[in-house]
Amino acid sequence: METQTAQPKIVPAPPGVEGPGYFATSFDKAIGNAKQYSIWPLPFATSCCGIEFMATMASNYDLARFGAERLSFSPRQADLLMVMGTIAKKMGPVLKQVYEQMAEPRWVIAVGACACSGGIFDTYSVLQGIDQIIPVDVYVPGCPPRPEQIIDGFMRIQDLVHNEPMRRRNSPEYKALLESYGIK
């Protein structure tokens, strides 16, 4: 009798045509499948949500399980900008510059009430949500959100990365979106 050993879970293959010695699928699906498990996040942590992110990265919650153990501290190699914390108006141009330095395709996740909407800081010095200066893909609510919520938000990003057509970034809609933020 064969002994039962724990097999590592392998990502299922995308739908396609399979036969002896070949497997055919579209580039979009194969590459999307690979990309979603190799996202390099850039943490932009300015306050308490950043502390929750540290817990998310550490061994208990372990974002590495999602293929994101390699944090990129240079925006030029990052795929995902994770904005965690209050962004003061004076920090706004800095955040925008970091976003502009990222190469396409790039995604943005706004973690916590402050990054989403300014949160409790309903005041003249605080940016009322980072979507006023850069486009945001996923919003994670909470003040601060628990690591589970951040992971859930990250998985929504994985869905986007997985399903996004490779030509989306060249589409006129996408260009118009960036245009509306004044980003080249």
Partner 1 sequence: MSVTVDYNRVTERITEKFGTKVHSPEQPYGMLTIRTDRDSIIPLLQFLRDDDEMQFIFLTDICAVHFPDRAEKFEVVYHIHSFIHNLRVRLKVSLSGEPKIPTAVSVFKSANWMERETYDFYGVIFEGHPNLKRILNVDEMTIFPMRKEYPLEDNTRTDKDDKMFGRINVNREN
User: Considering the complex, what minimum distance in angstroms separates the CB of residue 52 from partner 1?
Assistant: 23
**What is the widest separation between alpha-carbon atoms in the chain?**
72
User: Considering the complex, what minimum distance in angstroms separates the CB of residue 130 from partner 1?
Assistant: 12
Q: Is residue 114 near partner 1 by the rule CB under 8 A?
A: no
Q: By C-alpha distance, which of 80, 78, 149, 166 is closest to 113?
A: 149
The 139-168 site mask, x for binding partner 1 (CB under 8 A), equals ------------------------------
Cα→Cα distances 114→49, 73, 118, 121, Å: 9, 22, 4, 7
How many residues interact with partner 1 (rule CB under 8 A)?
A: 13
Window 15-54: residues binding partner 1 (CB under 8 A): none
Phi, psi of 34 (to 5 degrees): -70, -40
* Segment lying near partner 1 (by CB under 8 A), choices 36-44, 61-69, 86-94, 95-103: 86-94
- Residue 81: CA count within 13 A, CB half-sphere: 28
In angstroms, rounded to a whole number, what is the distance separating the alpha carbons of residues 111 and 102? Answer: 19
* Segment lying near partner 1 (by CB under 8 A), choices 17-25, 27-35, 38-46, 85-93: 85-93
In angstroms, rounded to a whole number, what is the distance separating the alpha carbons of residues 139 and 86? Answer: 14
**Of 22 and 124, which CB lies nearer to partner 1 in the complex structure?**
124
Using CB under 8 A, pick the residue from 33, 37, 45, 89 that binds partner 1: 89
Phi, psi of 44 (to 5 degrees): -115, 85
Please report where in the chains the tokens 């501290």 appear, as a residue: 73
Using CB under 8 A, pick the residue from 3, 20, 27, 122 that binds partner 1: 122
* Segment lying near partner 1 (by CB under 8 A), choices 29-37, 73-81, 107-115, 120-128: 120-128
Q: Let me know the angle formed at the C-alpha of 117 by 114 and 120, rounded to the nearest 5 degrees.
A: 55
Q: Is residue 73 near partner 1 by the rule CB under 8 A?
A: no
What is the contact surface with partner 1 in residues (CB under 8 A)?
A: 89-90, 92, 117-118, 122-126, 128-129, 132
